[in-house]
């Protein structure tokens, strides 16, 4: 086993370091992974810049990274379904207790869940990382490590579309064309949505959305009225969308979502905004437009792998930048500046392929 | 057929009159009813006092009343399932067009629906009234006319509990112990809720709630903090409620609903408040607490009749006042003053029984 | 208006005639259509050959045809959403009564429903035909008449996949590669199925299935054991399918469906077989494999049109034969012999295009 | 700790023994329980009489019993939510692996689940027994040990009614008035069923059903025609039932269930019968009557405890016989002869109270 284990550690707000850590020893139910590709998420950058997200506050140094894949190099004694050499994607959330949420299949809501790179739990942006074997999923040969790493954001899109009830012939409005809006777009299309409108402030992001299959793009200017935007969406689609997936967290977008969505439809809140928002809730209520939140995901890796293996969803264009792990700070800086869509860190010196 | 047809007509805001109207002639798909009992709803009083509710504005005289039952006295030529003499409860919403909502079973959302006493559609507070036969439901002998009339508000409670997913062992918070909060309580209990907490500003209303089966009553004082109230609810139940049914329309109650409801649970918005509200939406979203509106109801009369006939739901205590139709103005004044719970107008001079 | 109205009438078992009928006059809620394309269905042929299907028995002459599209040439006085010249697809089932099924959105189950070419109701294989305007759906310019006609069988596939819960990453077994198996394949793929196995006795049908997107084809020989076939399906997919859609009606296929489907999965029964079947029901029950029937469809035309217009579903290859209406008997003979997949009758002499 | 641990062990078909076993030592996630009340289930007797149920074959001695409650006397090192002295009900199924079923909340379908008294797993009919702490649920003071033990069969009823979709105003047919039919009856009523018809061969069982709240009882004679019985059910209810819960496993009852259930309704298969059955499946399919199996239960203990604590479900009358553990053989003989409903074994010499 290599002695070295280069790791990206956030010591405090603004203090991001690349340092060497001991290679961990997997417990009986764990596997040790030689990491291959880890995507940088907006939340990683947020912890770096602000030291907190909502109630999650960095109080001691934390390893970043939670969009990851790697290769099994050591297998815990009780593990049966994985072997050394298996290429796996990592589901970063692992429930700690068998509580009511775990028992009823909504383990993402378990209040004591372990989650990579959410304080105080360490992430996996390193050369070696151990993880619960039950939350490592074997990748078929025709799915790359980077696709494996992208299953994490893709899972947010899957969970959002599933909660929204996207199905054959659905029309969908997606607010925001960042990574999360874009994976929601990919998933909505794969679930049978007939038409998707996507909005953003930045034309480049909408260009990417168009390439990924959006039917209509709407460039929003700060200050545009919510009802006005809702009307534009209706005009583009010829009718109000069945489902709106809000991926910005911005108050005015929640307002637009409410005005835009068809009676009897669904709004999915994926974006995280300020604690209190002022919204026309009664407009949604009297038209029975349901409002459903999304907190990460559960039960998405197997279906995501099935979709990637069958070629029905193509996430590859999302990766716009790659950096070797050694250049992690530069990589984070790229994401901080909002350049491109997804920045990948390549953790294996001997294999920097996708 | 009697020449007289005493009718309660709202001519304009504040101008409520009792006047004689021609007895209508039923069309081929309609029945003519000799009205028996009609409850006064908060919305009737609201039109009287304010001349409008939201976008529905009184522009010409309108007959009030939509919580009603009566006896069939004439049957349209195409009607097959009703006969002269049948005692029926009236579902006041009758779709006009066969649109997507009607086809998929959510006809309450049909934008062109006819609805008694919603401008410009006349209600049924009169001696004789004609209605679509398909929306008149025969009452079994052991269900009284008043119970028949109460199916209308009861239906709001059924729809609310159904949308909330109340089932065996659910714990439920109900905000507001007006008629709608109380029917929601009755229905929640009948659907298997194990414990219900109900709140109100007025102790008398909570006393009634207790008599109807509430497990806990919480007297709210204006200015009580939403998070504080949520904590009190949790303390009473020993855990956060699975479902909250908001029946006040008050902003602070929506806030309480969000803070109070268990992760993965549901908030049902029944109450109608101001157009814009300021609420901690993100708190609900990250805990996947769904927010679902209620607009009246659909497909509730048959199950309501089944429950009344089997004695599983007892709505009788809700009727606290009765007035003969001739004293309609006094009856409306009683409701306006918030006295009691439900005021019944008795339209049949020869039968003023419940 | 043309005087002539050439019509395909089944007078009695085996007695199929092409005859002239009066052009009908549309009622207030109806439209008169100049028919364009009508597909021949297995049920049309079955009535011709056997004079009955189950309890539906031909007792008097009946017009055949229910997979149809045409152009509006006359509009009833109460119709608002259609105009002369509109190209429309026809939903052949029109509820007659506003019963519990119509009210709750499952109108296909309404026992008194009108249905084209189901005794005693006439179908639409003719030059002129009148139909309830509410069940005629306008076709966008980029959807052909033949695609419009194919919405009828496609709807069976939509309803089957919807009842089966096909979604992103589902693995699906389809028994039978006739028209219904093939449309189920198209829809399953469009709803996000990752892998579909399809079976048939005839390799030509499986070749078509492969062209339409099936991932695996399994040629069945009469006498193959059900458990053996289930094992083959599992081997092909690498795991048992989540969902099985049975489109043959054959007893041994129902058995295969039960043995094949994954625990917690769903079997959809689309095929119609003999009244009594001998099946390992307990095998399904103890693994909570649900068994759900399909009776036609409801609420499918709008989503089908959305999918065709967006190009997400391609039904065009299903049409393997075309005949002018005058050659209807030859067309029926082609279907009877099981040649090709879908035979289209072209009812408009001046426009025989797809 | 007592040295003695009297235990009911089935050594082979027909060879049931009461013997002393060592008191087990709880692992870190387990608790040791001093057992109080254990009900005898039909399956216990079946293993005794036949040595197998379906594919589950007794190959080595097995402790019987799975309907149980007791008191915590020792707590594993990792257990947080239980303390010595806690009175608990035991959920006998404990998943061994974190597979797809466990992750999605249907852990009862996990193929490797541990289940008390299902070969080769030992049950809990003994004085001391250790169990996974996560599957022991604390009983409130007002719920007796026997009620706690009855949560196991009650859970089958909960799961059956939940899968059947019983709700307010449902009409329900239950086939079979054994313990499982009776708990289904109790739960159906608590979930809001308006009317329940129950059938059995034996009038005594129907008398008990009547006492527990059945609205109609139907005594079946062997040889009664299935369609005839379905007609009798319809006559009693005035319409076909929405839901049928089959609790006999008998072929003719499955047939009756199909003929009896309303179009669009649900049949729940709880009873276990022969491997192959001959049934009119097409009758269910064309009326979209869904057929759903039940394999034990998942996520039922918390709601069951809530219902018992709130007094909404009264299971106490089900216990018709009690024996001290020492007389276990006599107790089993009582159940074998079909006497009464539920026989309770009292494992704690010092406390034989309910
Ligand atoms: N619910 C969850 O589990 C979950 C998981 C991941 C991310 N998130 C949240 O989802 C959101 C999106 O994540 P991301 O990584 O794509 O972030 P991002 O910042 O890259 O993308 C947000 C996009 O929204 C656009 N935008 C901003 N204001 C807008 C407006 N008024 N109208 C239209 N577009 C506007 C921005 O230009 C940007 O492209 C974030 O709030 C993030 O915190 C939630
Ligand atoms: N969604 C629908 O289809 C529908 C149908 C009928 C009624 N409604 C609405 O439901 C609401 C209730 O109707 P109702 O007839 O029972 O009205 P109501 O005014 O009689 O009852 C409301 C109750 O809420 C109480 N309340 C007010 N502020 C409160 C607070 N801060 N905390 C706790 N309780 C408080 C009041 O004291 C009152 O008892 C109204 O807003 C009405 O418009 C909606
Ligand atoms: N439920 C509904 O509403 C509905 C609607 C339309 C059709 N249907 C039924 O669906 C079924 C299929 O319709 P279709 O038009 O495709 O009929 P079809 O006869 O053209 O196709 C059936 C296919 O099944 C194949 N088959 C026969 N035995 C088989 C076996 N043992 N294994 C595998 N394949 C086998 C046949 O070779 C044939 O290709 C028919 O039973 C029809 O009555 C039902
Ligand atoms: N699915 C599950 O998870 C599960 C769990 C427990 C029990 N079970 C099964 O449920 C069934 C019922 O269990 P139980 O403990 O109540 O058994 P039981 O034998 O005590 O009760 C069955 C009842 O059905 C009656 N019966 C027999 N033939 C009948 C007929 N033709 N019509 C009407 N009634 C008839 C019997 O008289 C008896 O009262 C059994 O088959 C059992 O194996 C299934
Ligand atoms: Zn992320
Ligand atoms: Zn009202
Ligand atoms: Zn057809
Ligand atoms: Zn049992």
Residue D115 Cβ contacting ligand 4 at under 6 Å: no
**Residues from chain A contacting residue D98 (CB–CB below 8 Å):** 134
Whether ligand 2 lies within 6 angstroms of the CB of B136 is answered as: no
Residues whose CB is less than 8 angstroms from the CB of residue B128 and which lie 6 or more positions away in sequence, other chains included: B1, B2, B5, B23, B24, B32, B33, B34, B35, B73
* Contact in structure between D134 and D126 (CB atoms under 8 Å): no
How much of chain B is in helix, strand and coil states, percent to nearest 5?
30, 30, 40
Q: From the alpha carbon of D270, which atom of ligand 4 is closest?
A: 1
What does the alpha-carbon distance between residue A185 and residue A193 come to, in Å, rounded to a whole number?
Answer: 9
Ligand 4 contact via D247 beta carbon (within 6 Å) = yes
How would you classify the pairing of strands B319-324 and B342-346?
A: parallel
**Taking 60 as the threshold, does the pLDDT of residue B255 lie above it?**
yes
- Which residues from chain C sit within 8 angstroms of residue A215, using beta carbons? 310
| Cβ neighbours for B171, distance < 8 A, ≥ 6 positions apart | B193, B194, B195, B196, B197, B237, B239, B241, B242, B243, D306
Please tell me which residue, C48 or D223, carries the higher pLDDT value: C48
CATH architecture for residues A156-293: 3-Layer(aba) Sandwich (3.40)
Q: Assess whether the C-beta atom of D159 lies below 6 angstroms from ligand 4.
A: no
Ligand number with the minimum distance to the CA of A68: 5
Q: Return the structure tokens found at A136.
A: 């490592």
In the predicted model, is pLDDT for residue A43 greater than 90?
yes
Q: Tell me the C-alpha distance between A17 and A347, whole Å.
A: 15
Q: What string of H, E and C letters represents the secondary structure of D124-193?
A: CCECEEEEEHHHEEECCCCCCHHHHHHHHHHHHHHHHHHHHCCCCCCEEEEECCCHHHHHHHHHHHHCCC
Task: Check residue B252 and report its DSSP letter.
Answer: H
Do strands B128-132 and B136-138 pair parallel, antiparallel, or not at all (unpaired)? unpaired
CB contact under 8 A, B306 and D191: no
Equal CATH topology for A6-138+315-346 and A156-293? no
Which residues have C-beta within 8 Å of that of residue C192, sequence separation ≥ 6?
Answer: A190, A191, A192, A307, A312, C166, C167, C168, C169, C170
B209 CB-near residues (< 8 Å, 6+ apart): B177, B181, B182, B185, B198, B200, B217
What phi and psi values does residue A150 have, to the nearest 5 degrees?
Answer: -75, -10
Instruction: For helices C226-237 and C251-260, give the axis angle rounded to 10 degrees.
Output: 50
pLDDT for A209 equals 98
Q: Distance (Å, rounded) from C-alpha A153 to C-alpha A92?
A: 11
B98 touches chain C (CB under 8 A): yes
Which residues in C lie closer than 8 A to residue A216 (C-beta atoms)? none
Contact D285 C263 (CB under 8 A): no
User: Rounded mean pLDDT of A63-92?
Assistant: 98
Rounded-to-integer distance, Cα B54 and Cα A250, Å: 27
Cα A78 from chain centre: 30
In contact, D4 and D127? CB cutoff 8 Å: yes
State the smallest CA–CA distance between residue A236 and chain C in angstroms: 14
Q: Please tell me which residue of chain B has the smallest CA distance to D310.
A: B194
Query: Per the CB < 8 Å rule, is C195 touching A306?
Result: yes
Q: Is the CB of B181 under 6 A from ligand 2?
A: yes
Is the CB of residue B273 less than 8 Å away from at least one CB of chain A? yes
Q: How many Å apart are CA D263 and CA D234, to the nearest integer?
A: 13
Q: What is the pLDDT of residue A56?
A: 94
What are the sequence ranges of the domains in chain B? 6-138+315-346, 158-293
Q: Which string of b and e fits B10-43 if b means at least 16 CB within 10 Å?
A: beeeeebeeeebebbebeeebbbbbbbbbbbbeb
Identify the residue whose C-alpha is closest to ligand 3 atom 38. C178
Mutation target among C28, C82, C100, C103 for the B interface, most CBs of B within 10 A? C103
Residue pLDDT, tens place only, D128-181: 999 999 999 999 999 999 999 999 999 999 999 999 999 999 999 999 999 999
Task: Count other Cβ atoms within 10 Å, centred on residue A290.
Answer: 22
- Given this model, what pLDDT does residue D1 score? 47
In degrees and rounded to multiples of 5, residue C280 shows phi and psi of: -85, 65
Nearest-Cα residue of chain D relative to residue B304: D169
Contacts of D104 (CB under 8 A, 6+ apart): A105, A298, A299
Say if ligand 1 is within 6 A of residue A200 CB.
yes
List C-alpha distances in Å: B110 to B176, C127, D160: 28, 35, 35
Question: Which option is the CATH number for A6-138+315-346: 3.90.180.10, 2.60.40.3950, 3.90.1150.10, 3.40.50.300?
Answer: 3.90.180.10
A180 CB under 6 A from ligand 1? yes
Helix axes D328-336, D42-50, angle to 10 degrees: 90
The complex's ipTM works out to: 0.97
Distance separating alpha carbons of residues B244 and D109, to the nearest angstrom: 32
Reply yes or no on whether the pLDDT at B2 is more than 80: no
Three-class SS of chain C: CCCCCEEEEEEECCEEEEEECCCCCCCCCEEEEEEEEEECCHHHHHHHHHCEECCEECCCCEECCCEEEEEEEEECCCCCCCCCCCEEEECCEECCCCCHHHHCCCHHHCCCCEECCECCECCCCECEEEEEHHHEEECCCCCCHHHHHHHHHHHHHHHHHHHHCCCCCCEEEEECCCHHHHHHHHHHHHCCCCEEEEEECCHHHHHHHHHCCCCEEEECCCCCCHHHHHHHHHHHHCCCCCEEEECCCCHHHHHHHHHHCCCCCEEEECCCCCCCEEECHHHHHCCCCEEEECCCCCCCHHHHHHHHHCCCCCCHHHEEEEEEHHHHHHHHHHHHCCCCCEEEEECCCCCCCC
Give the N- to C-terminal CA distance of chain A in Å, as an integer.
Answer: 24
Contact C272 D282 (CB under 8 A): yes
Q: Which secondary structure element, helix H or strand E, spans residue B237, and what is its range?
A: helix B226-237
How high is the mean pLDDT of chain B? 97
pLDDT at D289 over 80: yes
Least Cα distance to D107 among D247, D272, D295 occurs for D295
Residue-wise pLDDT for B113-127, tens only, equals 999 999 999 999 999
Q: Which ligand is nearest to the CA of A199?
A: 1
Least distant ligand from the CA of D157: 4
Tens-digit pLDDT profile for residues B217-226: 999 998 899 9
Cβ distance A157 to A36 under 8 Å?
no
Q: Are strands A171-175 and A195-200 parallel, antiparallel or unpaired?
A: parallel
Q: Reply yes or no: is the peptide bond before residue D120 cis, omega within 30 of 0.
A: yes
Ligand 3 probe mutation, C247, C334, C342, most atoms within 8 A of CB: C247
Say yes or no: CB of residue A39 within 6 Å of ligand 1: no
Q: Which pLDDT value is given to residue A1? A: 47
In contact, D47 and D125? CB cutoff 8 Å: no
Residues of A within 8 A of C304 (CB-CB) are 169
Distance of CA D54 to the CA centre of its chain: 17
> Residue whose CA is closest, atom 18 of ligand 4?
D178
Task: Report the share of chain D in percent with pLDDT over 90.
Answer: 97
Q: Which fold has domain D159-293?
A: Rossmann fold (3.40.50)
D107 Cα–ligand 5 center, Å: 28
Tell me the pLDDT tens digit for each residue of B299-330.
999 999 999 999 999 999 999 999 999 999 99
CB of C338 within 8 A of CB of C184? no
Q: Which residue of C has its CA nearest to A309?
A: C194
pLDDT tens digits for chain C (354 residues)?
A: 456 999 999 999 999 999 999 999 999 999 999 999 999 999 999 999 999 998 899 999 999 999 999 999 999 999 999 999 999 999 999 999 999 999 999 999 999 999 999 999 999 999 999 999 999 999 999 999 999 999 999 999 999 999 999 999 999 999 999 999 999 999 999 999 999 999 999 999 999 999 999 999 999 998 899 999 999 999 999 999 999 999 999 999 999 999 999 999 999 999 999 999 999 999 999 999 999 999 999 999 999 999 999 999 999 999 999 999 999 999 999 999 999 999 999 999 999 899
> Please, which residues have CB within 8 angstroms of residue C320's CB and are 6 or more apart in sequence?
C339, C340, C341, C342, C343
> Testing the interface with C: which of A154, A162, A169, A262 to mutate, by most C Cβ within 10 A?
A169
Query: What's residue D313's pLDDT?
Result: 96
* CATH class name, domain C158-293: alpha beta
Tokens matching residue A249: 């967290």
Q: Which chains touch B (3 or more CB pairs under 8 A)?
A: A, C, D
CA atoms of B182 and B315, how far apart (whole Å): 9
Which of chain B's residues have a Cβ under 8 Å away from the Cβ of A54? 282, 286
Residue in A271, A300, A343 to alter for ligand 1 test, most ligand atoms within 8 A of Cβ: A271
Enumerate neighbours of D (3 or more CB pairs within 8 A): A, B, C
Residue that wins the pLDDT comparison between D257 and A54? D257
Q: Residue D226 is encoded by which pair of tokens? A: 């299935």
Contact A105 D100 (CB under 8 A): no
D156 CA to middle of ligand 8, Å? 8
Phi then psi dihedrals of residue C325, to 5 deg = -50, -40
* A62-63 sheet: strands from edge to edge: A15-20, A6-12, A62-63
DSSP A65: -
Ligand 4 centroid–CA C199 distance in Å is 38
Nearest CA in chain B to D159: B168
B335, pLDDT greater than 50: yes
Residue labelled with tokens 């030059």: C127
Report the nearest atom of ligand 4 relative to the CA of D296: 3
CA dihedral A324, A327, A328, A331 (to 10 degrees): -90
- The region, left, alpha or beta by phi > 0 then psi within -120 to 50, assigned to residue A180 is alpha
Residues of chain B with pLDDT > 70, as a percent, come to 99
């Amino acid at each position: 086993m290599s002695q070295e284990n280069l790791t990206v550690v956030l010591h405090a707000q603004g203090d991001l370091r690349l340092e060497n850590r001991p290679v961990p020893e997997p417990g009986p139910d764990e596997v040790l992974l030689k990491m291959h590709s880890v995507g940088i998420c907006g939340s990683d950058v947020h912890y770096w810049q602000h030291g907190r997200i909502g109630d999650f506050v960095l109080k001691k140094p934390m390893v970043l990274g939670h969009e990851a894949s790697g290769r099994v190099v050591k297998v815990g004694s009780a593990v049966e379904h994985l072997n050394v050499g298996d290429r796996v994607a990592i589901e970063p959330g692992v429930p700690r207790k068998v509580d009511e949420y775990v028992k009823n299949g909504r383990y993402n809501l378990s209040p004591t869940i372990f989650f990579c790179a959410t304080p105080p739990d360490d992430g996996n942006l390193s050369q070696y990382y151990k993880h619960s074997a039950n939350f490592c999923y074997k990748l078929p040969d025709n799915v790359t490590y980077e696709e494996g790493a992208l299953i994490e954001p893709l899972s947010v899109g899957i969970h959002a579309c599933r909660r929204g009830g996207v199905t054959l012939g659905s029309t969908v409005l997606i607010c925001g064309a960042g990574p999360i809006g874009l994976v929601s777009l990919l998933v909505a299309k794969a679930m049978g949505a007939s038409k998707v409108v996507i909005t953003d402030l930045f034309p480049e992001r909408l260009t990417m959305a168009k390439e990924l299959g959006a039917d209509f793009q709407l460039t929003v200017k700060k200050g545009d009225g919510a009802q006005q935007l809702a009307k534009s969406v209706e005009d583009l689609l010829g009718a109000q969308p069945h489902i709106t997936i809000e991926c910005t967290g911005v108050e005015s977008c929640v307002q637009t979502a409410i005005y835009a969505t068809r009676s009897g439809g669904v709004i999915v809140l994926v974006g995280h905004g300020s604690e209190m928002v002022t919204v026309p809730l009664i407009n949604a209520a009297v038209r029975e437009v349901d409002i459903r939140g999304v907190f990460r995901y559960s039960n998405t890796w197997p279906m995501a792998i099935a979709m990637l293996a069958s070629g029905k969803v193509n996430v590859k264009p999302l990766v716009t930048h790659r950096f070797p792990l050694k250049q992690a700070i530069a990589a984070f800086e790229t994401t901080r500046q909002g350049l491109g869509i997804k920045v990948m860190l390549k953790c294996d010196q001997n294999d920097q392929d996708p």
